[in-house]
Amino acid sequence: MRSFSSRNLISLRRPLLAGLVGLTLASSLLAATAYDFFICANINRNYVIGSTIVTTNGLFQRDAATEEWHHFGYNDTTISAVAVDPRDHDVIYTTTLNGIWVSYDGGDSWKMTNSWDMTEGRDVAVDPHAPDTVYFALPDGIAVSTDRGQTWERRENGLPDRGKFTQTLAVDRTTEGRVFAGCEKGVFLTENAGHSWRQVLPTETQVNDVEQSPHNDQHWLAVTDTHGAWHSTDGGETWMQIEALPDQEAIYNVTFDPTDAARLAIASWAYGVWTSEDGGKTWLERNAGLPDNARAWRVGVDPNTGRLYASIFQETLFYSDDFGRTWEPDALEGSLVNAFLSLPRAQR
Amino acid sequence: MKSLNYFRPTSSLRLWVVLAVTTSALAQPAFEEPFSREPVEALDVRRAEYMDRIQQMQDWRIGLYAEKNYTTMDNSALSMLLIRGEKIEECNQRVIELMQSPGTGPFWMFPIAMVAYAGRDNLSAEARQSIRDAWRTTRQLRGDTENHWVMYHTAMYLMAQLYPDEPGSEWWNGLSSDENRVEGRDWLLDWMNITTTIGQGEYNATHYIGEYAIPLLMLKVWSDDPAMRQRATIVLDWIFAELATVTLDGVLRGPNSRTDDYSVVERWYALSTYFSWQLFGNVPAGEGFRGWGWGSYFAVLAEHYQVPNVIYRIATDRQDDILQHDRARSRRIWRYSDEHMRPIYKTQYLRENYAVGSHQGGLSDPIQSHVWDVTWNVDDPRGVHNTMFSLHPHSSGRVQQMFFCTFPEPMPPGVTFEGKPSYNSANKLLGCSPYEQVMQDLDTIIALYDIDPAEDFPQVNGFFSKDLAEVEEHASGWIFARGGTTYLAYRPLAAYTWEPHIRYPNGRDPTITEETGGRVLVSPHVKNGTILQAADGDEFANMAAFQAAILALPLEYSLDPRPTIRFTSLRGRDLEMTYGGTPIVDGEPINYAGWKLFEGPHMNSELNSRVLTITHGQLGRVLDYNTLSITDIVMP
């Protein structure tokens, strides 16, 4: 078993103020709260740069009543991630090939606020304890805004000169300024809003996703290209490899089920969808009912229902109401879902 | 004087047929009439012929629509007519129609910027407003390669200049006119600075040269800033000086950062040939200007630029062999490498009838790279596969991840539907590979391969053209052939079989293939190598004499544990190379680190100097990017 421990840190833990599901909610609140459920998706089968857009890409919201997806905001075939200001859901941050786009009016208008040398945005995250502070993942590092995305500065002290391709960012909902970055050479942690970073999990290949449990703020998961899946039960200080998951091929993302602390799922091009229902101790392949050789791009869970979604590469989005035992096709044929996002309606 | 007869297409290429039918009724002297490669001495005549070629390209392009109607015009024809002041009402209608479904990205942006400028004084208010609206409402993608960014930032820079002092609400990206202009300018200055300091990223590109030259010409003509105009002029001269130097009678050969399945074997079939035709007049055009699509955009503004005499003569007046050692850089590497950009070391050796070119091998560009070849001259290069080379057909999601923001699995199959149909095929002829290392000394190439057995395609492919003559697989292990008047000796270092050479007539469907009549030498051994020795036909009485000379050359090699070779070339040079080591010539390791940016008889530039001296005979031009000066000098 591979494991890695970082040095212990003294940190200030603050109580939960507000937050995003998957980032911010304690399980005790879940039953009483309803959520708006979003995805950012590219419906771009066979699209190449230069084509006229004939499909719809960007942000979609799930209509719980009709079970339909409604597009809003802009149409950009390269959208990769989304984050929302927990104080004001009309403040939306999205990353795309061009960089980062910010809307302050719920998606009616947008501004590209990155400079020409901060492009190919990979991920974006808002600090729920300091919502003016926004983190922006780049293929060559990390930028931080302290003015709600209007201006950006690179904060990369402690990241390797080479090896700081940052695919994912995750803010610790317990502590202001405590952020994990999934990079080419491992998981890096800042506890001072990006002013310095330290490696808490070295990896040989790209870290693709880092997630914090909505049920236990000390429980974290990380998945990589070919360095396996990892978990931490001490707030990300030490990491242990999840032996029950394969590590020869890339795992693209991991998700917790906000409605059930025992349930986890991963998506992988090579392995498809795997789930655990015992908190990650054992895992089962859950591809029956998905297309043959299911190339799973991303999984996510609707916190309203516990419904598991699986985005299969340029196929229809699929869902499962029994956590992967059976699958049904949803809408959005030819899509790639790059992010799932849930927002407590009470925050609006 | 060399002159050519009418060209009669014999190929069954689909595209050819389509174009032939499409253009059958259009006059095209550049295709139909004999041409000369002799330099035009009188400058006024040269200018007149240059202008005539512009006229031909424009007339042909406009003529495509005059035969049918103007409702299907492309943006280059629109721009031409707008500048001529012709068919304005048809242009108005077409612009309005086009703006109803705008495209998304640099390949849409720069042509529309061209239309906007060409029509700024004579398009109707409604048509101009439709363009303006599109740039407010339609999101654009900057793309993911260097040529994309040149087009994107040029377009944004010029459009922001065209519509100054407007707030972010009037632009698709929410930035004000001034913010967009500054953003575009700063990126362009950074790119020009890097290019003149450590070299081009997409160096010697067979097609993408247009994606640089056209935006640069737009900046030269339309930028309000005299400094930007001068910068663009300097970089145009810079790029075209290299084109002049490394083309063989107008045909770009040798290593290419990017090329494609067609151009890599039919070397004439490339947009770079359009630029030779337009700028130097030393190469014939294809029927319907096939393969030269983007050239029509350069033709819109070409009257505003002409290469200086020194560059023209480098291209057209070759008295001596050229040995050029130059540097360039790889595509930017995001991850899985300690290098942000790899230095590329190019060797170009050009003689009257053939040329040998290479870079050191390894990764340069992940999809469409070409590392080395020998290319020979022919009277009429159209349809001729006048080249020979070998490569490892590398396909890798991991390497794609180095250069693109992607997961490992989607790209290898995905790019085959994006105009790179052979990428994931064992029989492909496009490189590059991390398992290939190359050395060149004059007209000798040694390419060694130490391929990871886990590679998808653990083999070496060698291209043997349909146009070779006197091909003989000699008992010694050498394969002899003649290309044009050039003698060729190709030595595979491991066993091989032959497969038909196939091409992909549909760039977006790798399942559609056609045989060309050529062959691919397939050597399915991971420890491998190729030796190539070329010689001019005048050097030997016949093929037998050439063979005897080759067979007399000392050669030792072994493949395990690593390929290693000692070979005395036809030029009497002792060449030593071990995979993973520094190549040695006459006992001296090649000092790549000491190479200049350009060093040769015609182009010289110290690394990081940002000064390029171009010479031919007594002619000289100094491009100084530091002072933004262009100085013509007389050499002693």
The model's pLDDT over B83-110, given as tens digits with 9 standing for 90+, comes to 999 999 999 999 999 999 998 899 999 9
Q: How far does the CA of residue A331 sit from the closest CA of chain B (Å)?
A: 22
pLDDT at residue A216, as a whole number? 98
**pLDDT at residue A22 is higher than 50:** no
Contact A77 B104 (CB under 8 A): yes
Q: What percent of chain A has pLDDT over 70?
A: 87
Quick: pLDDT tens for B39-75: 999 999 999 999 999 999 999 999 999 877 889 999 9
* Predicted pLDDT of residue A54: 62
3-state SS class at B564: strand
Q: Environment class of residue A87 by beta-carbon count within 10 Å: exposed (0-12), middle (13-18) or buried (19+)?
A: middle
Q: Cβ(B578)–Cβ(B563) under 8 Å?
A: yes
Q: With bands split at pLDDT 50, 70 and 90, how would you rate the model's confidence at A9?
A: very low
Yes or no, beta carbons of A139 and B335 under 8 Å apart: yes
Question: Are the beta carbons of B183 and A116 separated by less than 8 Å?
Answer: yes
Cβ separation A52–B103 shorter than 8 A: yes
Q: What percent of chain A has pLDDT over 90?
A: 79
Q: Taking CA atoms, what residue in B is nearest to A121?
A: B405
B141 and A76: CB-CB below 8 Å?
yes
Sheet holding B436-441, edge to edge: B436-441, B444-450, B527-536, B486-492, B479-483, B469-473
pLDDT-derived band of residue B415, with 50, 70 and 90 as boundaries? confident
CB contact under 8 A, B338 and A139: no
Interface probe with B: pick from A97, A102, A116, most Cβ of B within 10 Å: A116
User: Backbone phi, then psi, for B561, in 5-degree steps?
Assistant: -75, -20
Q: Which residues contact A262 (CB under 8 A, 6 or more apart)?
A: A276, A277, A278, A279
The percentage of residues in chain B with a pLDDT greater than 90, rounded to a whole number, is: 89
Residue B21 pLDDT grade (very low, low, confident, very high; cuts 50, 70, 90): very low
What's the pLDDT tens digit per position in A238-272?
999 999 999 999 999 999 999 999 999 999 999 99
Residue B16 lies in a domain: no
CA distance B403 to B419: 18
Residue B511 lies in a domain: yes
- B541 pLDDT exceeds 90? yes
Per residue in A190-213, is it b (16+ CB within 10 Å) or e — as a string?
bbebbeebebbbebebbbbbbbbb
What's the CA gap between B293 and A129, in Å, rounded?
55
User: What is the Cα B83 distance to its own chain's centre?
Assistant: 29
For residue A126, the model assigns a pLDDT of 98
B169, A109: Cβ pair inside 8 Å? yes
Ordered strands of the A166-171 beta sheet:
A166-171, A179-183, A186-190, A198-202
Nearest to B334 among A52, A74, A165 (CB): A165
CA distance B242 to B257: 14
B262 SS3 class: coil
pLDDT above 60: residue B407: yes
Cα(B610)–Cα(B608) distance, integer angstroms = 6
Separation of CA B509 from chain center = 23
In the predicted model, is pLDDT for residue A19 greater than 60? no
Q: Which residue has the higher pLDDT, A227 or A20?
A: A227
| Rounded Cα distance, B529 and A36, in Å | 61
From the list A50, A163, A249, which residue is nearest B105 (CB)? A50
**For residue A33, is pLDDT > 90?**
no
* Those residues with Cβ within 8 angstroms of residue B514's Cβ, 6 or more apart along the chain or in another chain: B12, B13, B502, B503, B505
The closest CB to that of A162, out of B183, B190, B338, belongs to: B338
Q: Contact A269/B142, CB-based, under 8 Å?
A: no
Rounded to the nearest angstrom, the minimum Cα separation between A277 and chain B is 27
* Whole-number Å distance between alpha carbons of A10 and A16: 18
pLDDT of residue B36: 87
Torsion of CA B24, B25, B26, B32, to 10 degrees: 60
Q: How far is A297 from chain B (nearest CA, A)?
A: 9
Q: Which helix (H) or strand (E) holds A2?
A: none
With 50 as the cut, is the pLDDT of residue B5 above it? no
pLDDT of B208 above 60: yes
Asked if B418 is an interface residue toward chain A (Cβ–Cβ < 8 A), one would say yes
- pLDDT value at residue B20: 36
Residue of A nearest to B189 (CA): A116
> What pLDDT score was predicted for residue A27?
42
B167 at A interface, C-beta within 8 A:
no
Measured in whole angstroms, the distance separating CA B354 from the mean position of its chain's CA atoms is 18
pLDDT bin (cut points 50, 70, 90) of residue A21 is very low
What is the pLDDT, as a whole number, of residue A86?
A: 96
Q: What is the pLDDT of residue A50?
A: 63
- CA B57 to chain centroid, in Å, comes to 20
- Contact flag B410-A120 (C-beta cutoff 8 Å): no
- Give chain B's mean pLDDT: 94
Q: Write the pLDDT tens digit of every residue in B217-271.
A: 999 999 999 999 999 999 999 999 999 999 999 999 999 999 999 999 999 999 9
Q: Which of A42, A43, A46, A49 to mutate to test the interface with B (most CBs of B within 10 A)?
A: A49
Letter for the amino acid at A43?
Answer: I
Q: What's the confidence (pLDDT) of residue A84?
A: 97
Look up residue A321 and give its two tokens.
């109401």
Cβ contact, residue pair A122, B405, below 8 Å: yes
Strand segments, DSSP code E, in B405-544 are 436-441, 444-450, 460-464, 469-473, 479-483, 486-492, 497-503, 514-523, 527-536
> Would you say residue A31 has pLDDT above 70?
no
Residue B504 lies in a domain: yes
Which chain B residues are Cβ-neighbours of A77 within 8 angstroms? 104, 141
Average pLDDT for A29-40 = 74
Model confidence at A23: pLDDT above 60: no
The pLDDT of residue A136 is 98
Answer yes or no: is B205 within a domain. Answer: no
Q: How far apart are CA A88 and CA A105, in angstroms?
A: 10
Q: Which of A43, A52, A44 is nearest to B109 (CA)?
A: A52
Q: Which residues of A touch B175 (CB under 8 A)?
A: 111-112
Residue A53 has pLDDT above 80, yes or no: no
Number of domains in chain B: 1
pTM of the model: 0.93
Sign, CA torsion A13/A18/A21/A23: negative
pLDDT tens for residues A35-52? 999 999 988 776 666 666
The predicted pLDDT at position B15 comes to 31
3-state DSSP assignment of residue A116:
coil
Query: Does the pLDDT value for residue B602 go beyond 90?
Result: yes
pLDDT digits 0-9 by tens, A271-319: 999 999 999 999 999 999 999 999 999 999 999 999 999 999 988 899 9
pLDDT of residue B13: 30
Compute φ and ψ for A236, nearest 5 degrees.
95, 10
Whether residue B341 is contained in a domain is answered as: yes
- Is the backbone of residue B66 left (phi > 0), alpha (psi -120 to 50) or beta? alpha
Question: Using CA atoms, how far apart are residues B442 and B481, in angstroms rounded to an integer?
Answer: 19
Quickly list DSSP for A192-216: STTSS-EEEEE-SS-EEEEEE-SS-
- Inform me whether the pLDDT recorded for A12 exceeds 70: no
Residue B417 is predicted with a pLDDT of 81
Closest Cα in chain A, distance from residue B400 (Å): 13
Our CA dihedral for B34, B36, B42, B46, rounded to 10 degrees, sits at 70
How many CB pairs lie under 8 A apart between chains A and B? 103
Backbone angles phi, psi at B148, to 5 degrees: -60, -45
Partners of B140 on chain A (C-beta within 8 Å) are 98
Strands B574-578 and A141-145: unpaired
Q: How far is B568 from chain A (nearest CA, A)?
A: 41
Rounded to whole angstroms, how far apart are CA atoms A210 and B627? 50
Q: Is residue B458 part of a domain?
A: yes
Q: Is the CB of A52 less than 8 angstroms away from the CB of B153?
A: no
Domain containing B548 equals: 322-552
Task: Enumerate domains of chain A plus CATH numbers.
Answer: 17-347 (2.130.10.10)
Q: Does residue B12 lie within any of the structural domains?
A: no
Cβ-nearest to B417 among A46, A76, A116 = A46
Q: Which positions in chain A touch B104 (Cβ < 8 Å)? A: 49-53, 77
CB within 8 Å: A76 and B340: no
Q: What pLDDT shows up at residue A79?
A: 94
B410 contacts in chain A (CB < 8 Å): 269, 295, 313
CB contact under 8 A, A109 and B409: no
More confident residue, A264 or A6: A264
Given an 8 Å threshold on Cβ–Cβ distance, is A112 in contact with B405?
no
Tell me what the mean pLDDT of segment B495-520 comes to.
94
Please write the tens of the pLDDT for every residue from A145-175.
999 999 999 999 999 999 999 999 999 999 9
Banded pLDDT at B30 (limits 50, 70, 90): confident
Q: Is B102 on the interface with A (CB under 8 A)?
A: yes
Contact A50 B104 (CB under 8 A): yes
Gap between the terminal Cα atoms of chain B = 29
pLDDT for position B306:
98
Distance from chain centroid for Cα B275: 10
Structure tokens that stand for B560 in this block: 């395990």
Judge contact between B61 and B77, C-beta under 8 A.
yes
Give the integer Cα–Cα distance in Å for B231 and B225: 10
Predicted pLDDT of residue A48: 67
Residue B498 forms contact with A (CB below 8 Å) = no
pLDDT of residue B426: 96
pLDDT single digits (tens) B148-157: 999 999 999 9
Chain B contact set for A313 (CB, 8 A): 410
0.95 surpassed by complex ipTM = no
**B153 lies within 8 A of chain A by CB:** yes
Residue B65, in any domain of the structure: no
Contact predicate B277/B580, CB 8 Å: no
Could you report the per-residue pLDDT of A195-223, keeping only the tens digit for each? 999 999 999 999 999 999 999 999 999 99
Please tell me the distance in Å from A301's CA to the nearest CA on chain B.
22
The distance of A345 to chain B (nearest Cα, Å) reads 29
DSSP state of B276: H
pLDDT at A30 over 90: no
Task: Share the mean pLDDT of chain A.
Answer: 89
Q: Which residues in chain B have their CB less than 8 angstroms from residue A53's CB?
A: 104
Q: Is residue B453 within 8 Å of B526, Cβ to Cβ?
A: yes
